[in-house]
Structure formats: C-alpha cells, structure tokens
Amino acid sequence: MALVEPIPGKAVATADLGDERALVVADFHAGIEDHLRYEQGINLDSRAGDRREGIHALLDRTDPDRVIFLGDLMQSIAGPGGAERGEIEVLLESIDVPVTLVKGNHDGDIESWIGCEVTPGDGIRLGDVGFVHGHTWPSRDVLSAGVVCVGHEHPCVRLEDSVGGSRVERVWLRGEMNSDVFAEHADEELDLDGELVVFPAFNDLTGGTWVNVQGQGFLSPFLPGGLAEGEAYLLDGARLGRYDRI
C-alpha cells in the first residue's frame, strides 16, 4: 500500500505516518470569497459552511488520527479579516483530532493566533512522509522521506474534445524526485529516491497552473524541474500520462 493515497473523487489524500494515519488537505484558502469580491469584483456568497461540511464528511469517511493542512489555510497574506479568521477558528474547533498546519505563503503570522501546531515554511517529516507547502525549498529532512507532499501549485489540465470544446480539471502530479535540482540548490550531493506528490487545491475557487499549456509558468521554485517525468491523474484516479504530453 502506498504511503500517500488520494481519495477518489476528492482533492485530498490519506498518509501513512507509521504510528498515525493522517488526512492531508492542501490550499484551503479560507475566506477566498472576500478576496474575489474586493480584488476582482466577483461577488460570491460565502462557502465557508460548505468547506467545513466537506472536511467533516472526509473525517467521517477516513477516520484519521490527525489532519494536516498543507499550507495556505488562509487566503489573505496579511492579517485575516473577521470572516476569514472566524471560518478558520470554527473549523479547527470542530475537528476532534490533532491538526498540523504546514505553513504556506498565504499564512502570514497565523501561528500567533491559531490553535494548532504550525511548522516552519521548509516543512516537516512525519514517519516516512515529508510535507512542505512548496513556495520555498524543502528542508533536507523533508527531502529524505519516501514521499514528499507539496501544495501551492494548484495543478490543473486543460482538456479539449474533438469539436473544440474544452474544460479545466484539477489534477494530481506524481513522479520521482530529481536529485540534481535539489542538489544544485543545496550545493551538495544528494541521492534522493523518494516520490514527489503535488496536491490539487481543496478550494476549487483558487484557479491554478495549467500544467499542459505552454506559457504557464510553475509557481514553486523547484517545479517542474524537481519532478522527474511526472504523471497527471484526475481526481477520479484516471491516469493521463506525462503531464507535459497531454
């Protein structure tokens, strides 16, 4: 059984940490509706309740020992507004297992007020699984894990049909880590043999990187180079093959 198993039909996974089993959620982006309203003029009703109910349904389905938010629990990079902070506080109060937040670039000084464990930006290793948001380089300890989980990128593919129609789908990216890319950054020899798993965003309002469209630049400093021959998978588990050949 794989250390990290996506849940079919959902943009989340479970992770085997050895002595614990975790539910892993990337890019929750609480309060994104306010951001869309004030920054882009898009008016949407809050979906905070739907997001919370979605997490509860996943907890019931997977019965984990821990929840790991893989960065960007917040949307606003500075201090959160009342609605955003309230959404996060209510969500965390409603989760009855320990919560770990792997700090992302949107999470500001969240550790000063949030009621859960918050890791440094370069991630954490739990058992043989490493977790890092992806906006900065992972620590050496994270890279030494058998599987490294990454958020931040919000990977998507654009799929076209025979009559010119198209749609955008969230995807998983999975592949071996490319040691050379991480070794060059660390300025030391590294022999990495783990797998890199790039998570789709839990929040479907975030947009993302269209990984099969030319001109779409990756956000993470170690992608796409750090992912050797990465393959894309739809949320339902369908394998699309090499993401750069779709």
Cβ neighbours of residue 202 closer than 8 Å, sequence gap 6 or more: 11, 12, 25, 26, 27, 28, 29, 51, 54
**What are 145-173's pLDDT values in tens digits?**
999 999 999 999 998 877 777 889 999 99
Model pTM greater than 0.85? yes
- Measured distance CA(28)–CA(54) in Å, rounded: 11
Question: Would you call 16 helix, strand, or coil by DSSP?
Answer: strand
**What are 100-125's pLDDT values in tens digits?**
999 999 888 899 889 899 999 999 99
- Measured distance CA(47)–CA(33) in Å, rounded: 8
What average pLDDT does the structure give for the chain?
A: 90
Q: Where are the domains of the chain?
A: 4-245
- Measured distance CA(219)–CA(109) in Å, rounded: 21
- Measured distance CA(155)–CA(157) in Å, rounded: 7
